[in-house]
Structure 1
Amino acid sequence: MARRRSAAELLDAADSAGTAIQAKDREAEAKAELEQSRPSVLPLGKILDRTSDTRELSNQHVSDLAESIAVLGLLEPLVVDRRGRLLAGGHRKAAVFVLKEADPTAYAKQFSNDLVPVRVVDFDAEENPDLALQVEVTENEKRRDYTPGEVRALAERLRDSGYADVKGRPAKGEKALRPALEVIIGKSIRTVRRYLNTDIEESVTDVRLSGTEDSNTVATSLRRLQTELTRWQKAYAEPGTPELESITKNVTRLLKRVDTALKKEKG
């Protein structure tokens, strides 16, 4: 027979249940506030910090974000209350300040007239600190989920600005593409690699045409790959969706690397 719980135990259980219900209510309220928030712009100097900030900033994260914002702009607006107090986006705001000081030209290009994109949530964070905290948590958890095509398009823009596909630690003065994308889209390096669809490229460029490898077998595989890639180029020669165009650019780069590998094998 199950033991009957004491009055104290029943009170504790009721208190825990009530706390859980309140937490769910705050989460639902925060989601509703974010959904009703309105896009706007504010001068950087008018975006205020909350009296109690909840997240410690990472200097490296801020620096990486500043570099990407210089190229891509602020992809995710800051979130502020009706008085301009920051609710979410502490790293992004700090990165914008770093960019303004380090590269005024890039800053002026991305933030014309010193105006920064924000989303305004219509309540006062000082009057409702619990809701302010929940909005911060909710915004960070529900950040936009980029499609593979969007990630590849961002990668192209970063490459055009000097970011490189490098393995391991980048050399001094070199900017690595994948870690930058990891910071921008909030995904792991493995997910970024999958989105960029570079597994096949790495498998080809890692091939060694000497040593223990069978040179004839490798060359045959490369020629087959060359044929398939050429077939793709012909099939999608006409402009298509942004995602297809991005893939076609990757195919073109891979074809060049395959051609180079075949020439080395022949030489």
Structure 2
Amino acid sequence: MSLNDLIKTAQSNTKRGIAAPNNNAVMSLEAIKPRDADTRPLNSAHVEALAESIAALGLIEPLAVDKQGRLLAGGHRLAAISQLKEIDLETFNQHFAAGVPVRVMEFDAQREPSRALEVEIAENEQRRDYTPAEVRAIADRLRKAGYKDGKGRPKAGEKALAPALQTIIGKSRRTVMSYLAGEEPPKNVQSCTFIKKALKELEQWEVAAPDSPGAQTLIKQLPKFKQLLRDAISESIKPN
């Protein structure tokens, strides 16, 4: 089966849902096995920026791995952690002496490659939306680590705050600056965040749904409901 076929299977495989993760696990960096292939090639500039932010803040979003320790999502974060270990072992040990935070999905990626892609796609499509208050708190921590506010290019040896926040939260510079200024996100962004949360909770219920006739009847209707939510997300993020 080709990679494109696997991606199509993963995107259409809504009936089974995504395995519930163990949210409290850590693994040594060496125990995390890289993927055989990435749907998103690594961007060296992004890896470097992530390594700098991880050095300042630690790992905010855990990696996703299967039950064998194979990476499912977080290739750039894993590369950034590896880079940090190479260039600054002391800082690496400060953050990861006990291990790298991971979310363990209870299945084997080699046995179920389409399910592995399902997790990767879900991670990319449902990236966490930070509130303005959370962004400002992260900004304060970055400032304490030496990141500077300001317009234009930073001076030699300085690290700019806004680009680091863009890397961490995955938002545009305009959105980052509005959050730092204390502005609330536009209503369409708030709606998108709410819908994403509803979709995620629906998928989690699907995994743990009881094996009763009523629940199974509802599960048959879930693909339609979930597609409506995805359509609503797409509509809410269209530019005005």
Same fold, TM-score > 0.5, yes or no: yes
Matched, 1:195 2:179: yes
**Match for residue 88 of structure 1?**
73
Supply the distance in 1 between the matched residues of 2:74 and 2:16 (Cα, whole angstroms).
19
Task: Report what 2:151 is aligned to.
Answer: 167
Structure 1 residues 43 and 23: CA distance shift in structure 2, 3 A: closer
The structure with the largest helix share of the pair is 1
User: Greater CA radius of gyration, 1 or 2?
Assistant: 1
| Residues 88, 136 of structure 1: 8 Å contact kept | yes
Equivalent position to 2:13, from 26, 36, 44: 26
For the Cα contact (< 8 Å) 2:50–2:167, is it kept in 1? yes
Are the counterparts in 2 of residues 82 and 123 from structure 1 also a CA contact under 8 Å? yes
Find out whether 1:52 has 2:74 as its counterpart.
Answer: no
**Which residue of the partner structure matches residue 146 of structure 1?**
130
Task: Report if aligned partners of 1:27, 1:134 keep a CA contact under 8 Å in 2.
Answer: no
SS in 2 for 1:60: helix
Deviation per CA, 1:41-74: give whole Å up to 9, x if none: 1110000012222221011100110111011110
Aligned counterparts of 1:191 and 1:28: Cα–Cα separation in 2: 35
Cα RMSD, aligned residues only: 2.1
Paired residues of 1:27 and 1:138 also in contact (CA < 8 A)? no
Q: Residues 9 and 114 of structure 2 are in contact (CA less than 8 Å); yes or no, is this contact kept in structure 1?
A: no
Which runs of structure 2 are paired with 1:1-267 in the superposition (5 Å)?
25-27=12-14, 29-30=16-17, 32-33=18-19, 36-39=20-23, 40-113=25-98, 115-197=99-181
Higher relative contact order (CA 8 A, sep 6+): 2
| Percent identical residues | 55
Aligned length: 177
List gaps (5 residues or longer) in structure 1: 1-20, 200-267
Unaligned runs of 5+ in 2: 1-7, 184-240
Q: Give the drift of 1:171.
A: 2.1
TM-score, normalised with respect to structure 1: 0.62
